[in-house]
Structure 1
Amino acid sequence: MEASSRRAVLAAGAGTAVAGAAAGLTWASRPAAAGPGAGAPDAPADGVVPFRGAHQAGITTPAQDRLHFVALDVVTSDPEELRALLTAWTRAAERMTAGAEAAPGGTVGGGPYGVPEDTGEALDLAAANLTVTIGYGPSLFDERFGLGARRPGALRELPAFAGDDLDPARSGGDLCIQACADDPQVAVHAVRNLVRMGFGVVAVRWSQLGFGRTSSTSTSQVTPRNMFGFKDGTANLKAEDPVALDEHVWVDGAEAAGGAGWLAGGSYLVARRIRMHIEVWDRSTLQDQQDTIGRDKKVGAPLGQRDEFEEPDLAAVAADGQPRIPVDSHVALAHPSNLDGVRILRRGYNFTDGSDGQGHLDAGLFFIAFVRDPFRQFVPMQQALARADKLNEYIEHTGSALFACPPGLRDGQDWGTQLFA
């Protein structure tokens, strides 16, 4: 299908493209992208990422360039209203990721006296590899909706970490939507329309725009740079390593036993808003910056080595007898050898949210990680970093949240029945 733009999809009218989206087709027949990394899961050739599958899109999908992330509170007390919204969201998300409007004829089809069912700002734009990923927070599984018995055991509030300066208005949430795309307007359009559909059922708690992905989730991607100018996520888990993903990312059936069986094949999403003290960093020497990270700033190699992808030699000693890679550097403390083999799938983004009113940029990293068990992976990692990481001199964590992301949807399934069945 010539599916590079919404105009092309809409022009099909009642043709197979729109009919398929409305009927819930998987789009799984679309070929993978050719070239490097062609074997990667979810590597689309036509700008459309399959919505349905064993796992939700937007996790191992090759990381797109833009993010719109939103956490929401459920404001209704009626579980049927929540279930109906999740079902409606499924239909709309599948349509939008296929390059169509949120509803058939949604922009103008209701006539001049009807309220449009699509806001229209993405009407002529490409699908841009849009993915929509949903997750549920610990607070959703209270007494309001009868979901208590379905709460996964690892879905509970994260502990406090040393140095946290969390803003409650930027933390938590009953559920989340992560929209990623290669066009910021496409990502914003997806979140805007889902939130619009939820009026009276959900309300926005907080949101975050992101740009310039800070991790590679596929071997087909080069390593990006963060706001400190360093390559970020060099040793990240990759979509082409299914064995590592099974070990570190996907929840297995035994861990999702009983009422939480709906999470088998899903994952946990950890979100942390990390403000970087840009002005302080920018006045630091190159050597101090490199010692803080543990890598060469230009090529990204571990200190004392030549290639970005060389395994860091944490035992190497410099001429002065000191470790070549400082023991309090970010690379050393986050290395699996110092964390009992812990690894995570990172999928973060840079952000710049203007200034803080005191002449300082409000900028940094919106950290997103997908893990099999946040309390066996993220928590010990963050505790080690919070305790001794030299990088703490330049950053502070200002927002935090944890969500359980269900597995992908089968044909005919929707988020409402998946959660409540």
Structure 2
Amino acid sequence: MTKDETFFEQKMDRREFLKKAGIGGAGLALGLSGASAFFATKTDEAEKISDGDEKIRFYGKHQAGITTAMQKNIYFVVLDLHTTDKDKIIQLFKDWTDYSAKLVEGELVKKDGSNALLPPTDTGETVGLNPHRLTLTFGVSADFLKKMGLESKRPKLFRDLPPFPKEQLQDKYTGGDIAIQACADDEQVAFHAIRNLIRKGRNSITMKWSQSGFAAIGNRLETPRNLFGFKDGTANVTKESDFDQVVWTDSKDWMKDGSYMAVRRIQMHLETWDRTNLQEQENTFGRYKDSGAPFGKKNEFDEVDLSLLPVDSHVRLAKEVDKPIYRRSYSYSDGIDETTGQFDSGLLFISYQKDPDSFVKVQTNLGADDKMNEYITHIGSGLFACFAGVEKGGYLGQDLFE
């Protein structure tokens, strides 16, 4: 069992814990955080996670960064192939495996030689820093399989996301061949990792788009709030047995023990939201803003009674589908939108699920009826197959390429 798995198995059910502790909280709301990162009894392992000193392994049954306790920062990048030479791409994934194993340990990707007239191998901006719980998670798209002549290996579950109502996707934030998610409790550590991976692969890949983000992780016993001011991230499962049911694939192919990553770049219209009265804000979510409790209840983790929620509320429409997904999303703020003069802010929504259809069904049910659509616009989208973990001596995606 990995340390990630042990951490979650050591914890009592977080809902029961918070009920007993009398801590309030909130709901599903945009899926902003992955609440398993925030709720734990104060074991030594939990203290290490809270302090950013938890030891993260790159090698293991599953890729880290999926059910790993959530970090404060993300740097996410989507890449396009610059070559379809299979040998070159295999070597790239081998190089990335070697680099990643060192990066999560806080090591240089490679020590420099004695010739000072050559550029340093590692860019060096994390020298003196610990790895701050860095995780690196890799996935490939269906287009990647087509371009690489691997279409025959595409799992039946793995198909492009369908169009959804109200979305206004922009080409620059949509599609792509490879996704890399770097998460850490220090933003410079996350960026450094992506920077060095890209640098190593510059002859084989080009960058399509990237996004940095943050999560309001302070006291990990409390649910963080999203940019709309609502507590967020209640619905995630926390036990390894539940991860098997929700997150990890059990297919008899190269995706066994991997997971499917759905990505949405969601613009949040903060100025419109800020002019909306409190009652209407709460009606939009179906939860009370202060406590996070569902309508008609007192505590965050009280069972949701759908009949008490507005028919167009976000929580009701999401929950009535009964298709659990595992959310691991981050807020972003990219300055000012030059067209509108307003904040260019929103949510980098990331969810993991063993079957992409779970995400599709939830998003379809939200559809045109979700009252949240008055305050958000989906402008980016992608679906990526994240490999299983890597055993020592192997490399990322090995079962796919062989």
Which TM-score band applies after superposition, normalised by the shorter structure? 0.7 to 0.9
Unaligned runs of 5+ in 2: 11-39
Structure-1 separation of matches of 2:125 and 2:259 = 32
Counterpart residue number, 1:406: 387
TM-score normalised per structure 2? 0.86
Counterpart residue number, 2:313: 329
Structure-1 separation of matches of 2:80 and 2:116 = 33
Counterpart residue number, 1:147: 150
Letter in structure 2 aligned against 1:374? P
Contact kept in structure 1, 2:387 and 2:397, CA below 8 Å: no
Question: 1:284 pairs with 276, 285, 289, which one?
Answer: 276
Matched, 1:359 2:341: yes
Question: 1:93 pairs with 84, 90, 100, which one?
Answer: 100
Letter in structure 1 aligned against 2:65? G
Q: Which runs of 4+ in 1 moved over 3 A?
A: 26-29, 31-35, 37-41, 43-47
TM-score normalised per structure 1? 0.82
Distance change in 2, residues 1:356/1:224 (3 Å): same
Residues 10-21 of structure 1: pairs in structure 2 closer than 5 A: none
| Cα shift at 1:48 | 2.7
Contact kept in structure 2, 1:66 and 1:213, CA below 8 Å: no
CA-to-aligned-CA distance 1:318-341 (integer Å, 9 cap, x gap): xxxxxx421111111111xx11x2
Contact kept in structure 1, 2:94 and 2:396, CA below 8 Å: yes
Counterpart residue number, 1:243: 241
Counterpart residue number, 2:73: 66
Unaligned runs of 5+ in 1: 1-25, 316-323
Counterpart residue number, 1:7: none
Counterpart residue number, 2:351: 369
Q: Alignment length, in residue pairs?
A: 368
Contact kept in structure 2, 1:48 and 1:130, CA below 8 Å: no
Counterpart residue number, 1:5: none
Question: 1:36 pairs with 37, 41, 60, which one?
Answer: 41
| Cα shift at 1:310 | 0.6
| Cα shift at 1:220 | 6.2
Residues 21-420 of structure 1: pairs in structure 2 closer than 5 A: 36=41, 38=43, 46-103=53-110, 105-106=111-112, 109-142=113-146, 144-212=147-215, 221-238=221-238, 241-253=239-251, 257=252, 261-315=253-307, 324-335=308-319, 338-339=320-321, 341-357=322-338, 358-375=340-357, 377-415=358-396, 417-420=398-401
Distance change in 2, residues 1:272/1:420 (3 Å): same
Structure possessing the higher radius of gyration over alpha carbons: 1
Question: Bigger relative contact order, structure 1 or 2, given CA contacts below 8 A and separation 6+?
Answer: 2
CA-to-aligned-CA distance 1:3-47 (integer Å, 9 cap, x gap): xxxxxxxxxxxxxxxxxxxxxxx9979x96997275989x76833
Structure-1 separation of matches of 2:212 and 2:136 = 14
Contact kept in structure 2, 1:296 and 1:303, CA below 8 Å: yes
Letter in structure 2 aligned against 1:361? F
Distance change in 2, residues 1:28/1:299 (3 Å): closer
Computed over aligned residues only, the root mean square deviation of the Cα atoms, in angstroms, reads 2.6
Contact kept in structure 2, 1:267 and 1:372, CA below 8 Å: yes
Distance change in 2, residues 1:405/1:37 (3 Å): farther
Structure-1 separation of matches of 2:365 and 2:2 = 43
Distance change in 2, residues 1:183/1:272 (3 Å): same
Structure-2 separation of matches of 1:134 and 1:401 = 13
| Cα shift at 1:342 | 0.6
Contact kept in structure 1, 2:286 and 2:314, CA below 8 Å: yes
Structure-1 separation of matches of 2:373 and 2:224 = 21
Structure-2 separation of matches of 1:374 and 1:27 = 25
Structure-1 separation of matches of 2:220 and 2:227 = 22
Distance change in 2, residues 1:141/1:269 (3 Å): same
